[in-house]
Amino acid sequence: MKKFYLVSICALIFISKSNAQYNSFDQLVKSGTQDATKLLQNYSEPIFKGFGTGLNSGWNNTAKTKDFLHLELRISGTVAQIPVQDQYFDVTKIGLSNHIQVDPSSPSIVAPTFGGSTSSSLPIMDVKDDYGNKISTFTMPQGISQFVPAPNVQLSVGLGLNTDVTIRTTPSINLPFDIGSINIIGFGIKHDIMKDIFSGDDNYGLEEYVPFDLAIAANYNQINFSRHMDVQPESNTYPTPGSMQDFTTQKFSGSFTGKNLELIVSKQFWIFTSFISVGYQTSSTNVNLYGNYPITVAPGYYQNFPAPVHISETSISGFRADVGFQLDLWILKVYGSVSQGQYLSANAGIGLGF
């Protein structure tokens, strides 16, 4: 499971690892606080949407609820596909300041996002001081992948009264290769409405003839990630008077939250259950850089900027529909589903039920 988390988080922290000669976050930090935030937000938007889709996926594959104190442990993964319209952006149309301009020799003004091409021509950006003098140059990063993965581990418990509760939690894990640390918390509740109508002593056993299960579910999930950063001054530059030179407190911190409300209809055929659900989902993203960062502000000189990047947004808000199945092989469960919302996604997993 650590390997699965590693793949997922690598998608979120391209900014902290060198991807190519110039493909690291310190190149974007050169553009200053507001411009760095805009460049990072436009490049990373598909990650935020894809990860938000994954947070809201894989909660349920049936409307039927468990008997009192029956348990089910599930491990699943979601992969969201980034559509073509979210694979590129025009750097001249995102509101950059006059301090960041496309270099006259740049082969393109269209930059790939995280989901864009890994081999396209990249915009070359000039950083200028208050007087229009060029003080630095950097190249926008390449795309990485058209797919965004997200892992989920959850435990569901039957409470009786046709109700389940689900918990998603992972204590803080230090990922290998100095990737960073991650922790997960989430919870959900599901209630079978159809059983309320047709069960009970006054229904003369009609629950045996109900053609399907119908449930309503609400879910919340949050993943927190942090990693130490190491952005150093450019070579042959010196601090402006009064600038701090301690960059040991640099840290990337990200919080990704998903919420959804869904109506589920399912039908069991012996060991096979098919389901369809419709619902409304939202996801929010909060990304911050903490600590002190050296940004070149004049030829040969840098200035300290504390916490230069802050992104807070609603990444997803809208309806989604899921269709899938659950295969019940005694205590072993197999799950699969596809979803259409802002992004197309697929989810698959296995579980143990007792």
Q: Cβ distance 21 to 227 under 8 Å?
A: no
Residues 71-130: tens digit of each pLDDT: 999 999 899 999 999 999 999 999 999 989 999 999 999 999 989 998 889 999 998 888
Beta bridge partners of 266: 213, 275
Question: Which domain range does residue 197 map to?
Answer: 2-353
pTM of the model: 0.86
**Which stretches does DSSP call E strand in the chain?**
71-81, 88-90, 100-102, 110-112, 124-128, 134-139, 147-160, 163-175, 180-192, 213-228, 238-239, 251-269, 272-290, 292-298, 301-306, 310-329, 332-340, 344-353
Q: Which residues pair with 280 in a beta bridge?
A: 261, 319
| pLDDT surpassing 70 at residue 4 | no
Residues 103-118 as b/e (b if ≥16 CB within 10 A, e otherwise) read: eeebebebbbbbbbee
Per-residue model confidence as pLDDT tens digits over 299-341: 888 888 888 889 999 999 999 999 999 999 989 999 999 999 9
Q: Which two tokens stand for residue 125?
A: 């950006």
- Decide: 81 and 57 in contact? Cβ < 8 Å: no
Kindly report, residue by residue over 177-231, the tens digit of the pLDDT: 566 788 889 999 999 998 887 765 555 455 566 788 999 999 999 989 898 888 8
Q: CB-side exposure of 191: number of CA atoms within 13 Å?
A: 6
**Number of structural domains, the chain?**
1
CA pseudo-torsion sign 292, 298, 300, 301: negative
